[in-house]
A and B are shown apart, each in its own frame.
Chain A
Amino acid sequence: MNQALPSLAGQALDHLGDHERKGLLRFLTCGSVDDGKSTLIGRLLHDTKRLFEDQVAALQKDSRKYGTQGEELDFALLVDGLEAEREQGITIDVAYRFFATEARKFIVADTPGHEQYTRNMATGASNSDLAIILIDARKGVLQQTRRHSFIVSLLGIRHVVVAVNKMDLVGYDREVLQRIRAEYEAFSQGFGFETLEVIPMSALTGENVTRRSEAMDWHDGPTLLEHLEAVEVAGEDRLGPFRMPVQWVNRPNLDFRGYAGTIVSGAIRPGDKVAVAASGRVATVARIATMDGDLDEAVAGDAVTITLQEEVDISRGDVLSPPESRPEVSDRLSAHVIWMGDQGLRTDRNYVIKAGKRSTTGVVARIEHGIDVNSLKHLPTSTLALNEIGFCEIHLSAPIAFDPYEVNREMGSFVLIDPLTNQTVGAGLIWASLRKADNIHRQAFDIDRAARARLTGQTPRVLWFTGLSGAGKSTIANLVEQRLHAQGRLTFLLDGDNVRHGLNRDLGFTEADRVENIRRVGEVARLFTEAGVITLVSFISPFRSDRQMARDLFAPGEFVEIHVHAPLDVAETRDPKGLYRKARAGEISNFTGIDSPYEAPEGAELVLDTVVRPAEELADEVIRYLGL
Chain B
Amino acid sequence: MSNRGSHLRRLEAQSIEIIREVVAEMSRPVMLYSIGKDSSVMLHLARKAFYPAPPPFPLLHIDTTWKFREMIAFRDRMAAEAGMELLTHTNRQGLAEGINPFDHGSSYYTQVMKTDALKQALSHYGFDAAFGGARRDEEKSRSKERVFSFRTGSHGWDPKNQRPELWSIFNTRVRPGESLRVFPLSNWTELDIWQYIRSENIPIVPLYYAAERPVVERDGMLVMVDDERLPLRPGEVPQRRQVRFRTLGCYPLTAAIDSAATTLDEIVTEMLIARTSERSGRLIDHDEAASMEKKKREGYF
Contact = CB atoms under 8 A, between A and B. Distances in A.
Interface of A: 1-2, 4-5, 8-9, 12-13, 15-16, 19-24, 52-55, 62, 65, 78-84, 86, 92-98, 100, 104-105, 107, 119-120, 122-123, 126-127, 234, 247-248, 250-252, 256, 258, 260-262, 289-292, 299, 301-303, 305, 316, 340, 352, 354-357, 409-410, 413-415, 417, 419, 422-424, 427, 602-603
Contacts of B24: 247-248, 316, 357
A95 B160 contact: no
Contact of A93 (B162, B176, B274): B162
Nearest to B51: A291
A289 B144 contact: no
B141 A82 contact: yes
Interface in B1-60: 1, 3-14, 16-17, 20-21, 23-24, 47-54
A260 B49 contact: yes
B277 A415 contact: no
Contacts of B20: 247-248, 260-261, 303
B163 interface: yes
A303 B276 contact: no
Contact of A1 (B23, B141, B274): B274
B175 interface: yes
B199 A427 contact: no
A261 B176 CA distance: 28
Given A247-B21, A354-B169, A413-B169, A5 B266 contact: yes
Contacts of B290: 82-83, 86
Contacts of B160: 82, 84, 92-93
B17 A262 contact: yes
Contacts of B6: 20-24
B92 interface: no
Interface of B: 1, 3-14, 16-17, 20-21, 23-24, 47-54, 136-137, 139-144, 159-160, 162-169, 171, 173-176, 186-187, 189, 191-192, 195, 198-199, 257-261, 265-266, 268-270, 272-277, 280, 289-290, 293-294
A234 B5 contact: yes
Contacts, number: 219
A427 B5 contact: no
A80 to B, nearest CB: 8
A81 B269 contact: no
A16 B268 contact: yes
A4 B173 contact: no
A98 B171 contact: no
Contacts of B49: 260, 303
Contacts of A410: 167-168
A97 B277 contact: no
A414 B169 contact: yes
A603 B171 contact: no
A301 B269 CA distance: 29
A603 B270 CA distance: 52
A602 B176 contact: yes
10 contacts: A1-B270, A20-B199, A24-B10, A83-B290, A86-B289, A127-B167, A258-B52, A291-B48, A419-B173, A427-B164
Contacts of A52: 274-277, 280
Contacts of B277: 52, 54-55
Contact of B53 (A9, A54, A100, A250): A250
A422 B16 contact: no
Contacts of B11: 24
B17 A423 contact: no
Nearest to A297: B4
B259 A248 contact: no
Given A97-B143, A303-B17, A415 B171 contact: yes
B195 A21 contact: no
A15 B9 CA distance: 18
B143 A95 contact: yes
A290 B270 contact: no
Nearest to B293: A83
Contacts of B187: 96, 98, 107
Given A126-B167, A424-B171, A16 B269 contact: yes
A21 B6 CA distance: 5
Identify the interface centre among A4, A258, A260: most chain B CB within 10 Å of its CB.
Answer: A260
Contacts of B266: 5, 9
Contacts of A97: 137, 143
